[in-house]
Each structure stands twice: as C-alpha cells, then as structure tokens.
Chain A
Amino acid sequence: MVESSSPLSPEVLSRLSGLKVQVQRVVEGVLAGLHRSARHGVSIEFAEHKEYAPGDDPRHLDWRVLGRLDRYYIKKYEDETNLQASLALDMSGSMGYGSGPFTKAEYAALLTASLAALVLRQGDASGLILLGGSRPTHLPPVARPEHLGDIVQAIEAARAQGPTDLQQAAKIFVERSRRRGMLVLLSDLFDPAPDVLASYKMVAARGHEVVVFHVLDPDELDFPFEDPSQFESMEDERRVLAFPREVKQAYLKELQVFMDQTRRSLAEAGMCYELVRTDEPPHQPLIRHLTRRKAVRRWS
C-alpha cells in the first residue's frame, strides 16, 4: 500500500485519462523499481547475437564484438528470445466490483496492459485473451511494439459482464500456441465451475509458464460490512440475506481456505500465484512478480 498522494497510487492513477497513459506511468514505476533492486536486469541467460536495428536497447550492445568486428550486435537472452506471453484478462461480471477508485476489472486491465507493455518493450510477443461477455476476444501474441495499441484498444472496449469461464482462456492458449509460451491470468477466480484451475494445470504440464494474478477488492478480503445486507451476485440472480457481524468470521475463513487451496494447487503444478489488492499501487504486484521470477530462475 502507498499513500494516496503517491503518483502511482490507485487514487492518482484513476485520475489519469486513458489506459495508455496509466500503463506508461505503471511501466515507469516498474522499471524504476527494478533499477532500485539489487538484481536489476530482465534476463540473465545469454542466448544469441542479433544485428542491431533502430529501436533496440543500446544497453544491450555487445561492445566486445564491436571492437573485434566493428559491427553492431545486440546480445539476446534466453527469455527474451523465446517469450510469447498471452495475457488472459477476466472481464466477467464479478470483476466489476470495486470499493475504491478502481474496480477489479479496471485494475486488472491496467495490470494486463502494463504487462503487455513490459513484454513488448523487451521485444517479446504479447497477446491478449479477454474473458467475459458472450465469447472471448483473442489477440495472438505479436512482438511489435505497436501491438500494445491493439491490446489497449481491446481492453478499453471491454466491459465487466457475464458469467465467468476461466477455462476458455486455457483452451484458447493451448489451441493457439505453437511453441513454449507464457499464460498470465488476471482474475478474481470466482468461477462457479468445479476445479477451474484443472485446465491451467494442463497448460503448465505442457511446459508453458503460467502466472496467476489473483485480483481481489479489499472488501472481499476484509468483509468490513456492519449492517444487515442483501448480498446479490454480480453474474446471476443469486442473493443472500446476511448479518455481516454474524457471518464475517465464517466468510473470511471460507475465503482463506479457498486462497490457500488455490495457492497450494498452483504451486504444486509449478504455476506462479500473486495476490493483488486493488488498493495497492499497480506497479507493486508486477515488481513483486518479476523479482520473484528472477530469483526462481537463478536458483532453478
């Protein structure tokens, strides 16, 4: 959590017009955060050389080759060379809930776009799978920087509505991927289907990297309600009358069990899990994930 006066706080970001601007701010925040980190750098394993072209990061110039051959080559790293990231954004009705400046959908959209920008920025391919509504929207991974505009446009056009069907994303990813890739899911995981993560385990079993950003609102995590309320589902007609003070403990316990099971289940399948609160600055979960990912790579 950061103070609301922070330039990356949800309150401040929400006042910026346009997802693209917000994404730019978040990406800057992520990069600044990574620079401050002791283990900065996106990738650590050298894979091959590539002839320099305008747009490439001059930091990656191989000065030794330049001195020996007098030609400009860029060092390519393992991750960067092979990464095809598909970002699956849950835009079901439940994602429309928000107690702060952002709904979960808006917050997840910002994270998705920021991730896409980061991926495209390092020359990798980034695609988008939008879940929700009547049928999912799929933008295949493309490694062109201008592809970010397509992604942002698709996200901005989407509205949180309809039931949740998270398996769709796994299915689309598996059907469309021709090589090892990365599937990033941003969702509240409130899918009524039993064992919703089974299909993602299959994805991971096929050698793909799966990352789950579990996006939850503070209200869902803390259940701060007092008055007797008629709680209504945001995806269907289900409703329940409850006295919050009487059900709070049981609800929190139930939620905790769900989160623990999810985290354990994902970890067992080799997937990454990142809990995201919509009241924290959006760059923080990204930094947390990237830092952890590098650490995992180093030790694996």
Chain B
Amino acid sequence: MELTFSQPGLLWGLLASALPLLIHLINRHRARRRPFAAVDFLLRVQRRSARRILLKQILLLVIRTLLIALIVLAAAGPLLIPVLAAGDRGPTTSALVIDRSLSMRATRERSSTDLFGEAVERARQKVGALVPGDRICLLAAEREQEVISPCTESQALLFEGLDAIEASGCGWGRSDLVAGIERAAALLAEEPDRARKIVILSDGAAHAFGTRAPVYPAGLSPPEIVLESVRAEDPIDNHAVSQVEVRPAGRYVEISARFVHFASQPSSRDLSAEVLLEGKSAARGFVQLSPGAVARKVFTLESPIGAEQLGELRSETDRLAEDDHRLFWLAGRRFVQALLVNGDMRPVLHQDELFYLEHALAPDRVGAAIRFTTITPDHFKPESLQGARVAVMANVREVSPQALESLRGFVSAGGGLLLSAGSQVDVDRSNRILGELLPWQLRDVVELGPLEDDGSRRKGIGFGAVQLDHPVLSLFSGAERKALSTVRTRRAVVLETGQENDRRRVLMRYANGMPALVEGRLGAGRVLLFTSTLDRDWTNWPARATFLPFLQQAVSYLSGRLDDLPPPEIEVGAGVCLPRLDEADGMRVLSGGSVEAELGIGDIQAGAFVYTGASRPGWYAVQQMAGGKSLSGRTVPGFIVHPPAAESDLRPVDPEALQRQLGRSRLIVVAGGDGAARSLSGRLLLLALALVLFEAVLIRR
C-alpha cells in the first residue's frame, strides 16, 4: 500500500501547524506586567504545579499542533493505494485489463457511479502510484480487445489513455476476459525479461471467463493474474427481460415476456412490468421472481390496426438497468381487401358457389382480417379491382374482355388471383380467355374414385402429396396433416402439366397424382388454381375443418401478407443477415435517424447483406439501395439488437474454478473494496475530533 494525496497542494497548509507554538511564544513575550499583592500564592501554586502546568502546556501545544496537521492532512485527501509491484521483486510490468462489457454498466451500491467508472478510477490510482522502473500497459476488454496504451513508464501517456477510454465510455457487448488475458500476455511477451502481472479490473462475473483456458505466447511463462473486483462486497441481484415473443391470436395479440432473476435471495415483492407501444403504456402487470428462476408473463392486447411498430417491454429497473427493457416487433393487423366473383350464384344459400368461401374468409365477421366484395361475372368491371389485393374467380365461365385485361394487369402488378373449377367452367373457353393467368392449361374434367355401392355417385379420393414447406400449406405440417385425410374429391379438372419451375409448380396433388392445387406467377403477382370447387359440388372439403385455415392462408399468401418477415433480432456484436432485393447493390443501416453503416456488394453473402457492426442495443432501420437510390419492396424494415443475455448474470466467479481454468498462472482474487484506494480523511477527522474533546477536557482540568 502506498500513501498518496488527491490534493497534494494543500499539504503546504501543514506549515500552519506551527501556529500554536508561535502563539505560545508570542504570548510569553507579550506577557503583561502586573503588580499583585498575592504573589505568594501564585508562587506557591507555581511551585506545587509547575510540572503539571508545564506538562499540560506541552500537551496542549502538541494537541493543537496535531489538530491543525490532521485537518490539513484530511483536506489533502490521503489515499492508501495498493501498489502494483512488490518492492522486493524488482521491476515489474503490469497489464491492466479494464472490463468494459455491458455488465460493467451496473451501478455500485450507494453510489451513482457505475462499475466501469470505478474500474477506470482504480486504474488511474494504480498509474498514479506507479513505482519508478515499473511499466504498465492498458487494455479494454469487451468482445474485442483494444490496446489503450502499450507498456510504458510514462504516467502522462497512461493517464491520456485512461482519459480516452473514459470518454468513449463503457461498451454494450459481452466480455471475453480470457481473450483479454491472452492479449495482455502478448503485450507482456514483448517486454524485457522481468516480473509480469496481469491485473483485471472487472465486476468479477463468472460469465466473462467462459470455460476455455488462456493460451500464452510461446516462451512466455504464465504471468500472475490479479482479478480485482470493482463491485462492493455485496452480491448484485439482477433481473433481466430475456425474451419477448409476439403471437397473433385473431384480433388480439399475446406478448409473452420471459424474466430471469439472477439472485441468491428471493425478491421481497413482485416485479412490475409494462408494455409500451409508441411510447405509451399499453398494459401493466406483475411477475413473481424466484432466485435463479425464469418467470413468464403474458400480456394480451387488442392487435393494433395499421402498420407494424416497435414495442418495448419494460420492467422496473435495478442496478443494471440496460437489461430491464427489451424491444419487440409488433406487426399491425392489416386488412386484405378481396374481390369475389361468383360464377354460380344460387338462391339457396348453402348451394351458392361462395357460401363456404365467404364464411371461411370472415368466420365471425368481427375483427376479420379479410374483407371482401362479392359480384357476379356480369358485374365484373375494371374498376371492381380498385383497392383489392386479391381476386377470387370461383366457377366463372366468362367475363368481359375489359375485366380480363384489368385482371391481368392487376396480377402482373402484384395482385393475387385464386381460381377454382366448377360446373360453369368450360375448359376450352377458360383456356382461351384466361390464357397466361393459368399456370397450366386445362385439359378436361374427370370423375375421381370408385362409384358408391348404389352407383349413384363417386366416392371420391383424398389428397396425396402436399408441399408442406409452402406458406399456404405449412399449417398442415403437424398433427393437422391428418385432418386433410378426410377430404374426398369426386371431380376435378385435369391440367396440361409440364415441367415445374419457380414460375409454376404443383403444391398439392390428389391421391391419384393429379394436381389439386397449383401456383403460377405472372409478373409480380401470384395465381393459385384449385382444380375442384369451392362449394360441395365436386368435393367435401368446404365442409371440413381444414378448409377455413386453408382459405385464410391462401388469401393472405396471395395478398403478400405472409411475405412480411419480422425483423431479425440479434445480440450486440452478432452478425445479422438482411434479405436483399434482386436489384439492390447496397444497403444503408440507420440508427436513431443517422446512417450507422453503408453496406456494399462485398457485404453480400448467400444472397443477403451481412452486417456485424451493431455495437449497441436498439432498433436499426435498413434501406435497400440501387445506384445510390433507395428501393422500395418487400423486405425486412430493419433489425433489433438486444443486450447480450449472458451479461445479465452478475454472479461472481468461483476463484477455485477460475484457478483451475487458468492452469499454471497464479491467481490472486482481490474481492470487493480491498483493491480500492482507501480514503483516510474520515479517520483523520475522527482523530481530530477526539483531540478536540481531549483538549476541552484538558483545559477544564
């Protein structure tokens, strides 16, 4: 330990401690001559108590001198600082590794400073107490190690480096202190042969060390490692919002939040949490946390109508506030406008061609995501498609050429078209008028399956191969696949199928191999052709439970709504793949309204832009660029960056386990405040106070 002063200039005030002696001497010199009759008594007193009075005077002089000296010393801010190098070991080179990971943002108990600030302050104290001949190098350890200052004896250079790291502040990433040790060892290996030491100024959290052992440069004997914890003695109980999932549920949305509590003691009360949408509180709740346990809380909100938006789940803050809130993406509920062309309208509702379709698209008519308008082919005009995203031609024999032309343009521009067969469909006519709208030409209408026993009708056949990876049919990939098996189709249109490619393909077949559902592309639009009917004339599917989700999904797919991917979510420092538009040659990453990065062709991997520079949590918007101009089109609007989950666990490392991990490097753990400079001001002032009391007692005697 070495004694230094934070205000050494004030030590000149020690000269003031000579004042009592001076005053005493001046008093003696200035003693007033006073004739007095009872001198005898004074002489007797003097004779009797001369020694006592002299002792008292000396004591008072000493006390007053000490008193002034103590006050001056206390004002000068005396600090006891642990010295880096032991005096008898000769010159030492020390590498100070300052942990600047996210967890260092935790505040110290009863203090407004964070752990990072404390670490820099301690580094500053160690540099201030640098013994001549010793050298120090400075590193900042996060996910990447930054050399702040190479090894030097110059305190000025080291202070400059510390000022720089303090100005840049604490990082947001996760730490890798083993990598920090390795980097520090590499710096020490360049030093001349002398005692070497690595001092890690960290919160001492176990997560920072991982599990691997450090690898030292060849020829370097394992240096001594001092892990100096900058946290106070107390454990830091930290909770974190570790995950937020958004699940649409009809007109509602469920926001499921997961909380983790890294603590040794149970929380005395429930944790309050709040969902914020557009900065306003949308829901509140409480979560009961147990030590080391995970808790979930589900907030159910009415799904907002409109565009997607960023939401935030915020819990009450603790000493590490950065992990007490988490962004999430909430896709707004958007309505799909559909135009339904009814080719076989009937007066009896359940016999109507669109009876099942209409009920499937708007199951309860309240909060339905699909809104539609139904017309007959005669009323199909070019303006009928205005505002629609999807058109359904159900069992339509013929429409006007103008309507067909507008329908073609509608699909080419990105609209969706669902075609279904039926009794009104004339194969030749349909091939002629629909033309390129059909994925494949129609060949004929065929009966399917054996006859019933009474010979009255066909039994029909079920579905065969289903492309479960397709967005329309992926919902049948689980147990629901079995539900499709009850569908029986008695009649269907046979297609002139050919080679499948990315412009047309078969999504579902009947058990006999005939196409049941095919997809074609025209321009930017999509066409789905169902080869049977949407009512129960040719198939029983409309009466089956799988019909409703199929149609909902098909219309959503045709409208493009299923293409809206949620933005990727990553942790600070991780890479993110951002889908690229075909014509894009660059991407602009924006954060907080300013451009964070410009990505070019070189950043494209496997058809997507890859960005690895997200250095802080938050929302990053992206713009696809082509020739310097921004593009519009279906792609992710941006991505969310979260704090590293591992940084929330502030439980301290086990020294014995760490020693085993470090191998031959000797580990010294300086816990709590042992490594901190100890201020002696308070003690000196207490001593001064005791002296004042002693003086008062002495004067009274």
Q: List the interface of chain A (C-beta within 8 A of B).
A: 94-97, 104, 188, 190, 192, 217, 219-220, 225, 227-234, 238-243, 245-247, 250-251, 254-255, 258
B40 near A231 (CB under 8 angstroms)? Answer: no
Min Cβ gap A228→B in Å is: 4
Please count the residue pairs between chain A and chain B whose beta carbons lie under 8 angstroms apart in the complex.
89
A247 near B37 (CB under 8 angstroms)? Answer: no
B39 near A246 (CB under 8 angstroms)? Answer: no
A247 near B42 (CB under 8 angstroms)? Answer: yes
A232 near B36 (CB under 8 angstroms)? Answer: yes
A228 near B37 (CB under 8 angstroms)? Answer: no
Residue of B nearest to A245 (CB): B699
B31 near A229 (CB under 8 angstroms)? Answer: yes
Extra 9 A-B pairs, beta carbons < 8 Å, given A240-B46, A242-B46: A228-B30, A231-B34, A231-B42, A232-B34, A234-B36, A239-B39, A240-B39, A243-B27, A250-B48
Q: List the interface of chain B (C-beta within 8 A of A).
A: 27-28, 30-46, 48-49, 53, 56-57, 699
If A240-B39, A251-B41, A254-B45 touch, whether A230 touches B57 (CB-CB below 8 Å) is no
A190 near B40 (CB under 8 angstroms)? Answer: yes
B27 near A230 (CB under 8 angstroms)? Answer: no
CA distance A95 to B35 in the complex (A): 12
12 contacts between A and B (CB under 8 A): A96-B37, A228-B32, A229-B32, A230-B34, A232-B33, A234-B36, A234-B37, A247-B49, A251-B42, A251-B45, A254-B45, A258-B41
CA distance A245 to B38 in the complex (A): 16
A242 near B42 (CB under 8 angstroms)? Answer: yes
If A246-B53, A251-B45 touch, whether A227 touches B38 (CB-CB below 8 Å) is no
A240 touches which of B32, B35, B42, B57 (Cβ 8 Å): B42
CA distance A240 to B34 in the complex (A): 10
Min Cβ gap A264→B in Å is: 18
B37 touches which of A190, A243, A250, A258 (Cβ 8 Å): A190
A229 near B37 (CB under 8 angstroms)? Answer: no
Residues of B within 8 A of A239 (CB): 39
Residues of A within 8 A of B32 (CB): 227-230
CA distance A176 to B28 in the complex (A): 52
CA distance A187 to B28 in the complex (A): 33
Min Cβ gap B150→A in Å is: 65
Residue of A nearest to B699 (CB): A245
Min Cβ gap A220→B in Å is: 5
Q: Chain A's interface: helix, strand, loop or mixed, by majority? A: mixed
Residues of A within 8 A of B46 (CB): 240, 242, 247
CA distance A227 to B41 in the complex (A): 18
Residues of B within 8 A of A229 (CB): 31-34
B38 near A255 (CB under 8 angstroms)? Answer: yes
B39 near A241 (CB under 8 angstroms)? Answer: no
Min Cβ gap B422→A in Å is: 123
Min Cβ gap A165→B in Å is: 15
A230 near B37 (CB under 8 angstroms)? Answer: no
If A240-B42, A247-B42 touch, whether A94 touches B34 (CB-CB below 8 Å) is no
B31 touches which of A94, A96, A241, A255 (Cβ 8 Å): A241
CA distance A94 to B43 in the complex (A): 15
If A247-B46, A250-B49 touch, whether A95 touches B37 (CB-CB below 8 Å) is yes
B37 near A217 (CB under 8 angstroms)? Answer: yes
Residues of B within 8 A of A255 (CB): 38, 41
B27 near A192 (CB under 8 angstroms)? Answer: no
Residues of A within 8 A of B30 (CB): 228
B27 touches which of A228, A238, A251 (Cβ 8 Å): A228
Residues of B within 8 A of A258 (CB): 41
CA distance A229 to B48 in the complex (A): 19
A254 near B44 (CB under 8 angstroms)? Answer: yes
Q: Which of B38, B40, B45, B699 has the most CB of A within 10 A?
A: B38
Min Cβ gap B48→A in Å is: 7
Min Cβ gap B463→A in Å is: 115
Min Cβ gap A125→B in Å is: 32
Residue of B nearest to A248 (CB): B45
CA distance A230 to B39 in the complex (A): 10
CA distance A217 to B48 in the complex (A): 24
CA distance A117 to B57 in the complex (A): 53
Question: Which 3 A-B residue pairs are closest in the complex by CB-CB distance?
Answer: A94-B37, A97-B37, A250-B45
CA distance A106 to B535 in the complex (A): 145
A220 near B37 (CB under 8 angstroms)? Answer: yes
Residues of B within 8 A of A97 (CB): 35-37
Residues of A within 8 A of B48 (CB): 250
CA distance A219 to B39 in the complex (A): 12
Residues of A within 8 A of B36 (CB): 97, 219-220, 231-234
Min Cβ gap A288→B in Å is: 23
Residues of B within 8 A of A225 (CB): 34
Residues of A within 8 A of B35 (CB): 97, 231-234
Residues of A within 8 A of B699 (CB): 245
Residues of B within 8 A of A192 (CB): 40
Q: Which of A231, A251, A255, A258 has the most CB of B within 10 A?
A: A231
